[in-house]
Structure formats: structure tokens, C-alpha cells
Structure 1
Amino acid sequence: MRIGIIHNNEADSLRVFRDLKPLLKKKGGIEIVERDPELVISIGGDGTLLSAFHRYSHQLDRIRFLGVHTGHLGFYTDWRDYELPELVDSLCNDNKNSVNYPLLDVIVNFSDGKSQHFLALNESTIRKGTRTMVCDVYIKDELFERFRGDGLAMSTPTGSTAHNKSVGGAVVHPSINAMQLAEIASLNNRVFRTLGSPSILGPDDWVEIKVKSAGQHLVTIDQLDISGQDIASIQYRIATEKIQFAAYRHMHFWRRVKEAFIRED
């Protein structure tokens, strides 16, 4: 098995990386590589796994991911830093099973006619600094509403527990092939109206946000930022690609939600 390892530079993550490498090398049939891995092990938190995802997003059809967390429990990490021997034993008994999560397909269009294409594991947002953002929201090429407010967030099911949840969005199980559009501090009064609640869209839907306010806007795709360019519109749909997590010991989603938001230590 060809294994790639991505880690952050925190002391605990570096320690786990140093401990994991010799354990893997002792096992036959495992090769640690940087290019064309079959399995990518992320050591750190969810941010580290997001970085690993974007690094290998062009190879999703042949790569599985696995997360080792070195802090508190993360949404994308199934193993803890003190479980390395058990992890390596699981790798040696690989059954090739995986758990798939939906992704977001994002196309950012600029005023000069150019565009950029991205995949998002968590979410994408658009904002306009300290000024009110104005944009038209189209669903399936039909005008749905004119939005005025701080911004809009489009999330995947796994990303529904992040920024989406903080602005009142629903938590969506990743077995549901959907994306969710949530408003960030919308203006709603007798003059300006929006739906005022999150919208969950299916695999046959697509959304285009056409910018109407002047000046610079900030677009995020997971931890990536796009600013300093004239953004004309953003197109969202559920991606045909999916991320695959190795299912050696995959924690089910609602347990992750409980661990993150409900359980008291």
C-alpha cells in the first residue's frame, strides 16, 4: 500500500509523525510516498485534513483519507494519537472499504470573463467586508430572491456543523446528497425581504449568486480565500466527486455531533 502522510507543525503532530513512520516501515507491503498515494493519513485537526483534501482533490477517485487527531475530537478524524499500533494493524488488514461524503462544486466567475473551479469539503461563503452585500440568488437559472446582508454560506452535509450551524442552519447527515444555503445576517424589514431561513437543495439543483453590490468581495472555499478581484458570480452544485474515508473504524456521524456539541466531560 502506498501511503502519504500530511501533518501540521504543532509539537504533538510532529511527535506522532515521528512515531508513526517507523511503525509503518516495520510492516511489509507499505510504502510512504508523496505522489500518487492510495491512502492519505492526516495528522492534526480538521484543518489539516482539509489541507490534505485540497492537495489531492484531483485524485479523489483513487485515494482514501484517514485522520489522526492530536487534540480534541474532530469531525474528520477516527483515530487518536495514542492508538498508532492499532492503526497500523488495521492498515495491514485492509479490506478496501470506505465511507463516502458529498462535496461542493464551486465555480467563481470574474468580471473579466475568467473563472476558477474548486471542490469544497466543508463550505463556501461570500461576503463584502463591513458593507452590506447585495446579490441575486438564482436556483436552476430562475431568480429566487435579491439578498441584502452580511453574506451567504453554502455547505456540504459534513460542513453543516461548521459556519452553517453558527448562523442557524440545519445539521444534515452526510448520507443525504445535498447542499445547504444559509443567510449570514440578512436584512429583513418591510422594504427588503429574503426567505430568512436555510434552504436544503438536492442533487438536481444548482445555485448561482450574482453580485450586485460594488467593490471587492471575499469568497472562501474551506480554508482558501479569494479576494482582490472583481467577482461577478458564483455557481454551486453538488459535485460528482466524493471524498472517501477509510472505514477501518469509522465513527458514525451523530456520535461525532454529540461529542462536539453535547457531551460534557
Structure 2
Amino acid sequence: MVADQRRNLYFYYHPNQELDKKLEPLIRLARDNDFHVVEDAKDANIIVAVGGDGTFLQAVRKTGFRQDCLYVGIRSHNEAGLYCDFSIDDHDEMVESMQNAEVEVRRFPVIEATVNNESTYLCLNECSVRSTLIKSIDIDVHIDDLHFETFRGDGLIVATPTGSTGYNKSTKGAVVDPKLPCFQVSELASLNNNRFRTLGSSFILSGERTLKLQVTQDGNDYPVIGMDNEAYSIRNIKEVSVKLSDNVIKTVKLKNNTYWDRVKRTFL
């Protein structure tokens, strides 16, 4: 059973009166089934994100991409979610599933982005580099030691397999199976002419590759770097290096609810 040695629950959510009321029976039910609700995420070995996919991403980021715990996603509204297997309105089913071993642990790939060879950030969905000015941004794209292309446009997105259904998909990128250890690069409004020529389509890199994005210092030195659903404004960005992390995010899923089941429910 997944929860045999994982009994400490921490609920991550944005408090409001309606959600607080909906959580009361779930918390009570958890306690009745020998789960312990803790006030500090550091004391938890199950972190429960209540809201939607955005809340799940924030829960993972705010708690430090914990490798020693499970993350559980609960939808607070009746909407599809790629990270949320459970609905807050079906809390009896959720506890019963965990008690009866009707859940499995899945591992989602994570990428790490290092800025200027100094600060490293983990991303579960994607890392994006975008211009903050009303002008294009120039980026030299390197795959390992190969200079692959010089990009000019609004920016680039580097997505994990689970992140492939988010921002990446809106740029016509491919939806990727999270069982593949890889990451995907997609363009934002590339400009192609005699001087600048890009592949013009998304491309997928093996988890053994390293991607380097070198930003041309031409006044556009303060691009916005998006890490999942948070934006960072970092001064004087010269290089962003991206690779697949050794870390993974362990989540609980229902046995009859695969990633592709959720993709179908969300988009088809």
C-alpha cells in the first residue's frame, strides 16, 4: 500500500471560506483513517495540493521539489487536471483508494535551468526565456557542443514531458509521454529571413543532452525567465543552460487513470 509508511499530510492551498469548508470533512476523514495532518510542510511525507494544476506546480516549487515525499493533486472544481487525479467532492473515494492500494506512484521528469553558470532552478512544467521589450530577442542555441541555430523572435520554451501539454502545446509543440526521459524546445514567433534561420518547429532532446541558450547582449539583457507558473526577472542574462535533472516528482495516481486518459479528458 502506498501510504503504509507515509502518514503525515500537509495541505497546500489558497485559503478561502468555501474551500476551507470543503476541506473539513476530508481532513476529518484522513484523521479517522490514521493520517496525521501537520502544519509545516517539512514534517510531511505526503503533500496534498488542493486547487488545480497551477496550485500543484506551486506546491512542488514552494516545498522545494521534495524527493522524500509524495505529492497528491486534488481538484477543487469540476475541471480536468493533468496533475490532479482526485476531486475534493469525492474524498471518500480518495481515502478508500489509498487504503486499498488502488493507487500507484508515478515519477515525472524535472528539468534544471542554470542561469549564467550561477543559480540553478528546477522546473516540473517548463522554463521559458522571453523578451520584455517591444523587440525581438536573439538567442544562440547550442545542443551539447554544437551551435544549432541563432534564434530571433519573442522567445523559447523548454518543456518537460508533462509540461508539453501546457504553454508548449499552445505553440503547436508535441504532447510527449512522461515515461520518456527527455525535454522539448519550442519557438515563440520566430523571425526567419536571409540572416536568421531556425528549424521552425519544436524538437525533442534526449535526457542525456544539454541545451545552452546564449542571449545576445544588445540591450535586451533583462528577459523574463518563466519557471513553471512563476516569472523571474534576472539582470544581465547571458546564458541559460538546461538539462534533465536527476530529481523526479513522485505523485499518486489512480491505477485506472493513466496520463493519456487525462490528456484525452482534457483536450478531446
Pairing partner for 1:99 from 92, 97, 106: 106
Who is 1:79 aligned against?
A: 86
Confirm or deny that 1:160 pairs with 2:164.
Answer: yes
Tell me whether 32-41 or 133-142 shows the greater mean CA deviation.
Answer: 32-41
Who is 1:20 aligned against?
A: 26
Who is 2:182 aligned against?
A: 178
Confirm or deny that 1:65 pairs with 2:65.
Answer: no
Report deviation, 1:7: 1.1
Report deviation, 1:244: 0.6
Who is 2:135 aligned against?
A: 131
CA contact (8 A) 1:12 1:70 kept: no
Question: Cα deviations across residues 219-255 of structure 1 (Å, max 9, x unaligned)?
Answer: 0100221115111111100111111112344621122
State the distance in 1 between where 2:101 and 2:119 align. Answer: 37
State the distance in 2 between where 1:238 and 1:205 align. Answer: 8
Tell me whether 219-228 or 236-245 shows the greater mean CA deviation.
Answer: 219-228
Report deviation, 1:156: 0.3
Taking structure 1 as the reference length, what is the TM-score of the superposition? 0.91
CA contact (8 A) 1:16 1:43 kept: no
State the distance in 2 between where 1:259 and 1:94 align. Answer: 24
CA contact (8 A) 1:68 1:81 kept: yes
Q: For 1:242-253, what aligned pairs fall within 5 Å after superposition?
A: 242-249=248-255, 251-253=257-259
Question: Cα deviations across residues 73-99 of structure 1 (Å, max 9, x unaligned)?
Answer: 111001112111121223334588411
Q: Cα RMSD (Å) of the superposition?
A: 1.8
Who is 1:53 aligned against?
A: 60
Pairing partner for 1:117 from 120, 142, 164: 120
Report deviation, 1:5: 0.9
Who is 1:3 aligned against?
A: 9
Question: Cα deviations across residues 53-73 of structure 1 (Å, max 9, x unaligned)?
Answer: 11233422x111111101211
Number of residues of Structure 1 aligned to a counterpart in Structure 2: 256
CA contact (8 A) 2:50 2:73 kept: yes
Who is 2:219 aligned against?
A: 214
SS at match of 1:186: coil
What residue ranges of structure 2 are gaps of 5+ in the alignment? Answer: 1-6
State the distance in 1 between where 2:14 and 2:72 align. Answer: 15
Report deviation, 1:51: 1.0
SS at match of 2:238: strand
Report deviation, 1:259: 1.2
State the distance in 1 between where 2:213 and 2:76 align. Answer: 38
Confirm or deny that 1:32 pairs with 2:48.
Answer: no
Q: Which amino acid aligns with 1:69?
A: R
Taking structure 2 as the reference length, what is the TM-score of the superposition? 0.90
Aligned in 2, Cα 1:139/1:221: closer, same or farther, shift over 3 Å? same
Aligned in 2, Cα 1:248/1:255: closer, same or farther, shift over 3 Å? closer
State the distance in 2 between where 1:94 and 1:52 align. Answer: 24
State the distance in 1 between where 2:53 and 2:146 align. Answer: 36
CA contact (8 A) 1:94 1:248 kept: no
What residue ranges of structure 1 are gaps of 5+ in the alignment? Answer: none
Identity %: 30
State the distance in 2 between where 1:95 and 1:46 align. Answer: 22
CA contact (8 A) 1:8 1:14 kept: no
